[in-house]
Structure 1
């Protein structure tokens, strides 16, 4: 299948990059902290180990390193980048970390901002950037997903501490007039179910002066209803992907790869089964990294591209899903 021919602007995918911290936390090491085991974790999640940030491995640094490798693959002049979107829920600076990445890269002509949508963040950011390019506002964009969830995990909660890790990934995308390799997308949000997965603020009442109080800032650890999140994912992700297949007149048989948010191997397998997509086409690396939130999709794509699994003109179905609750899907053609 060739890219869709257009009389308008389309999107081409030019490069990928990723970065993970060096520090490895295995299931065996977690079992020394909480009552669990390597077998129990693997059988329920598929995760064997995850990367944990230490000093220097904040979201800005991880995002910068992932972006740099994506720019290198794209062979871009830094000065030609117009837009940088950082998908993260754990910024190094609550006012935004994308501008710091822009400065570190020396991308002086780029506008940069953060986008927060948790595990759907990268997909939402990729869709947002593609619309800017198709609208003619910008020519070249970097889309980065980076999260440092280890800072917000309750390491005494064995239900959640086994799941999360840190990392970053990035894609370099470009406006082009000959074809459009961003084939289609869909996005959904259901705030009624938002309580299933949260990183809520935790405020302490204090006083400025007599009779004038304020709430000091802070956050509680990640709170998750794992059973409800699982049921949500295995139901909604196949539905939104199937809807997108029908909207774009592409069947699941035509897909070369399925790249889902790397949350749980059972979710990946269930979605593949419901869509009748072969396991050979389902890309997974969560065994090595766990759930890195906004980083999972670009981290998986970069690994597959550099291992020559994803090749030029391959059609990729991808879906991000998680807190909000939010979820989305996109069909792209690599190249």
Structure 2
């Protein structure tokens, strides 16, 4: 065995095996690199959505409507280049209206900044725009708030907006159609105290269609103050239940002459007195009860919430006859 290991043939065989292993490892790495390069060079197609579109024109004197804010762009070419374009976003889509006269025009959406190795398709390829004289004016904003979002018993006292007036810029045609300039304030929870937040200004025509204009500022601050209407009313104590046999209730009275009820104004204005049931079924002698005041529909609070009621009686409970024992 030692002779074989020391022989020239053993050395040659080992050298050959090492050479084969080295060849396979080098070629395997090359195959992997070639595979990755092939995948990168593979043709692909992908759509990029919500790509903004710019418009170049005389912004001081003209106003352009009809131009979409965003479009779709389809890219065809090597996958690596498409991924690079998506990541860098170093491109621009635009319409050139620098030499366009007032009126309607169909213009192409152009692009720049894409690799020349890509086939670029814009959807839509052309758009119809209306170029008109630019005008501006100031309008008063009407704040709005959904009263169904008020907490039970509360009502709106005042809805205010700041700033009160906004500048609207657009074409003469668009501004002539303005009927409503609104700022609707939306809340997520029921309102029971003064609340404020931002609301977007909407410019609408008579049919509540949104007009293609620019508003400055685009949002305003809306503040809502609420009130919880209240009224003082008298109490009407009504005994309920039957006292024990032999006991007669002669009167129920309280030192609290009136209480304050809170709730919807339409409800409390109809209330002249509040009926308070007093349970006398367990009263055996003159006593004072703490009677809770139940809130009826349309009310959300009463003050005080309990009243002390003095119950005056005559007589005493009759004793139950003792059962005769069996002889």
TM-score by length of 2: 0.19
Between Structure 1 and Structure 2, which shows a larger proportion of helix residues? 1
Structure whose CA Rg is larger: 2
TM-score by length of 1: 0.19
Higher relative contact order (CA 8 A, sep 6+): 1
Between Structure 1 and Structure 2, which shows a larger proportion of strand residues? 2
